Structure 1
């Protein structure tokens, strides 16, 4: 199975060297710190410290004294699946990346597709996540969390149109509470009524199943076209 990873020339040179797949640096997302930061933001939504329904999921969260980026699919090595590889040059251009690598991945892998599990994830948030956190939260913090769950359920319904960063919290919360993980996680992010921002955006969580990286001449040339 092939996936397609956008990167810089400097990083590509490292990854293309034999036996260097262990030097992959996946994106890291601290789910717990992000959740705590978002709840704090909800609580401080106005002067009365009452959660605000106008909350917009931020691109960053505060963790360990610094602002960290909220990656759309949580932790992992971001890439495009074979069915969406034509989207990679446009993504690379927008992200100021100049190389696309083909990731040769073992055929036997597990994948969680968020867009195929919309109803299940909505039910999970309302029927599993909410009761779970009621054990730990109380008073204003619980009120904030209940509102957060309502907003996350709505984000799933609208295909993360306004707040794609919300997918990260939903995914990581699901994996954490159910104590499960997958080799690959993926999702579709809605751009408008008929098109997706990314038709099949993926994150490789199990790096051990990467066989190797190869320079993709055709797709890399499209970046500079």
Structure 2
């Protein structure tokens, strides 16, 4: 398989020199800890921030969790225009993944909803949480459930939170994941969508190239 990763020239040169690409990091437990702090004293306002605190820094919550973000080879033009601050594209060749999940497919959408309604509920029941924490977690679960049912239009990064929780709590992991996201949810006409891929297991990468 072939993908394109948008980056800066300096980063591209390092990737080619090291024959290695660093994954975008995301710690779902640190993110949930940030949410618990937000909901500790105010459970009325629905909040699901795009950033969270980790190791004394504010970091982004990525749309599909941790991994190497890229576009499929069929979206070459979108990859070129992804970020005005980026001036390079890296071509990534991979083996066919043994485990791949497309979160936009009806089957996998239902799988994530079922996870939030079942395995995640069991986690809340046996997790040893205080009543206040349990109440906050239940609010978070409802937000995630609503987001999954609405294709993550309001909170696109909720897809990554659910996927990372699913992996953590079920033990099922994926070498590659993807999902389609609405880029302009406020627009009722001319809706724009992009499909993002994330390589979650770098061992499937066989080659890098400079485009």
**TM-score of the alignment, normalized to the shorter chain, above 0.5:** yes
- State the match for 1:206 in structure 2: 201
CA contact (8 A) 2:97 2:176 kept: no
- State the match for 1:15 in structure 2: 15
CA contact (8 A) 1:4 1:103 kept: yes
- Cα drift, residue 108 of structure 1: 4.4
- Cα drift, residue 74 of structure 1: 0.9
| Structure 1 alignment gaps of length 5 or more | 46-50, 217-225
CA contact (8 A) 1:29 1:71 kept: yes
CA contact (8 A) 1:34 1:62 kept: yes
CA contact (8 A) 1:21 1:210 kept: no
Instruction: Tell me the distance in 1 between the aligned counterparts of 2:47 and 2:150.
Output: 14
- State the match for 1:28 in structure 2: 25
TM-score normalised per structure 2? 0.89
Instruction: Tell me the distance in 2 between the aligned counterparts of 1:131 and 1:112.
Output: 23
Are 1:43 and 2:32 matched, yes or no?
no
Local SS of the residue matching 1:115 = coil
TM-score normalised per structure 1? 0.84
Local SS of the residue matching 2:164 = helix
> Structure 1 residues 85, 109: CA separation in 2 closer, same or farther (over 3 Å shift)?
farther
Q: Which of 53, 56, 62 is equivalent to 1:62?
A: 53
1:68-98: per-residue Cα shift (whole Å, max 9, x none)? 21111111111012343332122122xx111
Runs of 4+ in 1 over 3 A off after TM superposition: 191-197
Instruction: Tell me the distance in 1 between the aligned counterparts of 2:81 and 2:152.
Output: 20
Local SS of the residue matching 2:172 = coil
CA contact (8 A) 1:56 1:163 kept: no
Q: Which of 40, 50, 75 is equivalent to 2:66?
A: 75
- State the match for 1:138 in structure 2: 130
- Cα drift, residue 147 of structure 1: 1.1
Task: Report the RMSD for the aligned CA atoms in angstroms.
Answer: 1.7
| Structure 2 alignment gaps of length 5 or more | none
Instruction: Tell me the distance in 1 between the aligned counterparts of 2:98 and 2:33.
Output: 32
Instruction: Tell me the distance in 2 between the aligned counterparts of 1:5 and 1:177.
Output: 29
Instruction: Tell me the distance in 1 between the aligned counterparts of 2:134 and 2:167.
Output: 21
